[in-house]
Structures are given as C-alpha cells and as structure tokens.
Amino acid sequence: MAHTHTTPSEPAGWAPVVQVRAVTVAFGGLLALRGIDLAVARGERLAILGPNGAGKTTLFNVIAGGVTPTSGSVVIKGVECVHRPSRYRPRLGVARTYQKARALAGLTVRENIYLALAGVRGRHRALWRSSADRRMGDEAAGVADRVWLSGQLDAAAGELSHGQQRQLELGMAIATRPDVMLLDEPASGLSRGERERLVELLESFDEELTLLLIEHDMDVAFRIAQRVVVMADGEQVTAGTPDQVRGDPQVHRIYLGTEAPA
C-alpha cells in the first residue's frame, strides 16, 4: 500500500504538538542525550532511527515522562511537562506502545481494550454490569475492528500471534483517543507479512493523529514516516525526508557501517 500522507504545513503562528528543547540526560558519568532539539507537527509521522545506544529510547522516555532530563524542556500541546509524572501524559492525549507486549495474556481482546478504556475514564469494572459497562464493551469491539481484530474478540491475548498482539497493543493505545502516539519498535519480531499488515494499519489511522516511532526496520520506518531523524551517541546526526536520509553518506557510515551506493 503506497504512502499517501503529505508533510503538514507550518502556517504563521504554528506551534508544534511536541517540542523538545536542548534536552540532556546524564546517567552518572554517561551522557545518554546531548542537547536534543525536536519539534513535531500535529499529524506528522516522524521516525527516529539509530544504532543501539544512540539514545532513542531515552528520548522516548523523556517525552513519555518516564525519565526526567538533567536539563532542557519538553512541551506537549503547549504544556511544559518536564517535571510532570508519566501519568499526566494521557491527559494531554499521549499514548505509548512498548517493545514487549503489555496486554494481559489471560484476558480476551475485548477485556484488554475495555481495561484501556476504563483506565483513561477512571472506571472500575463492577460485579454487576451497568449500561455504561455494556456501552464500553461495545466500544471495545469497535476499537478491535479498527485494528483488524474483530474476529478475535473473545480470544485470549496470550493465544494471539505475535503480529496480532502488536495489533492489540495499538488498539489499547487507540482506545484512549490520543492525539500523539509513541511507538517503540512496533515491527520488532514480526514476520514480513506481519510487517506489511502493520504498515497498512498505521497508514489507515486518522491523519490528525501524530505518530512518533522508534524503528530498527528501516523499510518500515521509511514507508510510514514523512520525516526521519537519525541519532548516534545521544545526538541528532541528520534529519530529512526518507529519500534524503536513505542517501545520506553519514547515515550509511554511522547507522549501517557502509557507504551510500553511488
């Protein structure tokens, strides 16, 4: 499926939905991030690439609130978040997926999505089902359909294929109705067919939804992203369109260890 998104325009007075300014993170004597700047437009698809140890996951953890930077600023939808805990991010419409699936293996697809809905709405499942519970169950079924799992509604998460578990993770994130999704290596461990399905699924999401993804699979990243940032040793090496980054000799040296083809 061809990539159809266009790069969002930046009119006068444009404010990024996520802005990272001069962020540095030190773990003891190790500088994991060195003055990173990043601005992401609403509806943008941004991929962050780099070798192991480049600082990609640390940057995600800073944006998501799991790591407080040593210095710098993180502004999400105009709100300074650097000293706010991670539990504050969903209030700003930020959702995150992880490298390892976090769905509860013993619960069904419907139940996992229901819990995601309940978590963001502050509800607890009662012994006796109320009309609100039934509505949320129906909504969970609708979310499952959006991530192509309507045929597995009553299947336990632990019985799903790896690719389907990734779809469920996306469904649990989508259920919170986010404005920004942070995807941490969504194609990790997927077969070629599952990666194709993942790309198609991500491309089907609303264009107003902002996607930031860390991805080792460069083919997946280049197909999804409108803009690519490459990191190494805690710094931004380069940024540009997928075509620009694909042909950048510095990227080939640092990320691939080879020269770009002539």
What domains can be seen in the chain, in order of their start residue?
16-93+178-262 (3.40.50.300), 106-177 (no CATH)
Place of tokens 């194609």: 187
Given this model, what pLDDT does residue 256 score?
A: 57
Task: Work out the mean pLDDT of the chain and round it to a whole number.
Answer: 85
pTM: 0.83
Residue 178, helix vs strand vs coil: coil
The predicted-structure confidence for 212-228, as pLDDT tens digits, reads as follows 999 888 889 999 999 99
Question: What tokens does 40 get?
Answer: 């992401």
CA–CA distance, 156 with 115 (Å, rounded to integer) = 14
Given this model, what pLDDT does residue 217 score?
A: 83
DSSP 261: P
**pLDDT above 50 for 80:** yes
Helical segments of the chain, H only: 56-64, 109-121, 131-146, 162-174, 192-203, 218-224, 242-246, 249-251
> Taking residues 14-35, what's their average pLDDT?
92
CA–CA distance, 101 with 122 (Å, rounded to integer) = 23
CA–CA distance, 73 with 85 (Å, rounded to integer) = 14
> Taking residues 48-68, what's their average pLDDT?
92
The predicted-structure confidence for 121-145, as pLDDT tens digits, reads as follows 655 554 445 666 778 888 899 999 9
Strands of 30-40's sheet in order across = 30-40, 18-27, 71-76, 79-80
**pLDDT above 80 for 115:** yes
